[in-house]
A = this chain, B = another copy of it.
Amino acid sequence: MNLIERKFEKLGTDHAPGQEVRQSGDTAEFNLPGEPLPGTPVDFSHGDVNNNAFAPTPGALEEFVAGVHRGGPQAYTEYRGGAELREQVAGKLTEFTGRPVSGAKELIITPGTQGALFLALGATTTTGDKVAIVRPDYFANRKLVEFLGAEVVPVRMDYLTHTEGAGLDLDGLEAAFKSGVRTFLFSNPNNPAGVIYSPAETARIADLANRYGVTVIVDQLYSRMLFRGQVYTHLRASSINSDQVVTIMGPSKTESLSGYRLGVAFGAAHLIDRMEKLQAIVSLRAPGYSQAVLRTWFAEDPKWLQDRIAKHEAIRDDLLRLLRTVPGLAVRAPQAGSYLFPRLPALGVSLHSFVRALRVQAGVTVTPGTEFSPDATDSIRLNFSQNHRAAVQAIERTVQLIERYRA
């Protein structure tokens, strides 16, 4: 196997969310015995943006159409996005995060938050560099590091044993920084566990970053979807040096606008400059017409947003109640976002076989925990941004399947 073959060997997407249709899996191990459990199929690998679940922000399509009618200036923006729109979005993010954002110098619009993550890591990391990655965390993070020829330095997060904070191993983080890590990439709220870093954890991350000169990329994709009683601390508003932090967000989740593929990154101007240079050769610019949809962002009717969050919280509570009836299953209530990450009781089959049986026999698609951490061989991730009733019934079937395959 040559160098590039080895590189792509590490970037497998066979079990990645959205790719399930590609698993033909005609092996005996995959064809587990068991009667089908009837019910509406639910794909928990991503949120459902249809009208009977969580549709896009009202007015989004109208803004898109208006963008098409504006023509050239909307189709061809600067690579970092239209200047006027950047000003507008920067103003909203200044207010949201509590620290000024310059639309001219500190913000880039990208094709989805995935695009922003790639550009941010590509702008800070090159061959041989060390990057600290939390376990568990968003499945693409470690792959980005592999593609760039850099080295993953894992840091453990004990989300299940904590009730406050994310449970990041802060001493482990310091040891990683001491070992020569140049960049730290993490999600807050955490994807897949749905936990929020406490003010104390955030302060310590800022302090360590300053002390060891580490650039921090923080993926805050779910930071608008906070459940009752939760407090969120923006890392960029902490004591961290402003030239050492890039924040990533996007209107894809709370707002169900994923189909437009929009994200933003904001922070250190010299890194945003590099990200634009990289965007020029990776995708040139975010979709011109789609950019117009960002006009609806942080401009939603407050009642609509409140109602959306309350509906997610209600689904969360119902699913948690069901999952907690399963002996030996461990799950922490997500504080934000739309992910549940239960640890299953011991099963008599492998995790991948169980995930496959769940899809084939019960019409329930979930993502295996191993996408988020090599250690999470007993966990599954569910995106509960779904039709409430269908999600509850799907979890009832999931509980039955767990019993069917319990060790």
Contacts and interface: CB of A to CB of B under 8 A. Distances in A.
A308 interface: no
Interface in A224-276: 258-261, 274, 276
B11 A278 contact: yes
A112 B284 contact: yes
Given A61-B68, A126-B3, A118 B281 contact: yes
Interface stretch (A13-21, A191-199, A333-341, A395-403): A13-21
A282 B79 contact: no
A111 B71 CA distance: 19
B259 A287 contact: yes
Contacts of A74: 259
A287 B287 contact: yes
B259 A16 contact: no
A12 B277 contact: yes
Given A118-B283, A283-B118, A288 B22 contact: no
A84 to B, nearest CB: 11
A315 to B, nearest CB: 16
Interface string A355-378: 000000000000000000000000
Q: This chain: how many copies in the complex?
A: 2
A76 B281 contact: no
A4 B278 CA distance: 12
A49 B22 contact: no
Contact of A281 (B11, B83, B285, B290): B11
Interface in A23-71: 43, 46, 48-51, 53, 55-56, 61, 64-65, 67-68, 71
Contact of A283 (B13, B64, B111, B288): B111
Contacts of A67: 259
Given A111-B287, A118-B281, 20 more contacts: A8-B278, A49-B71, A49-B72, A49-B75, A50-B71, A61-B65, A64-B68, A75-B258, A114-B284, A117-B281, A118-B282, A127-B149, A147-B281, A258-B288, A259-B288, A260-B289, A261-B283, A261-B286, A261-B290, A287-B290
10 contacts: A4-B123, A11-B280, A18-B79, A43-B72, A50-B71, A122-B147, A140-B284, A143-B281, A287-B287, A290-B290
Counting from the closest, the 9 A-B pairs by CB-CB distance are A75-B259, A259-B288, A50-B71, A114-B284, A11-B277, A261-B287, A259-B289, A111-B283, A115-B283
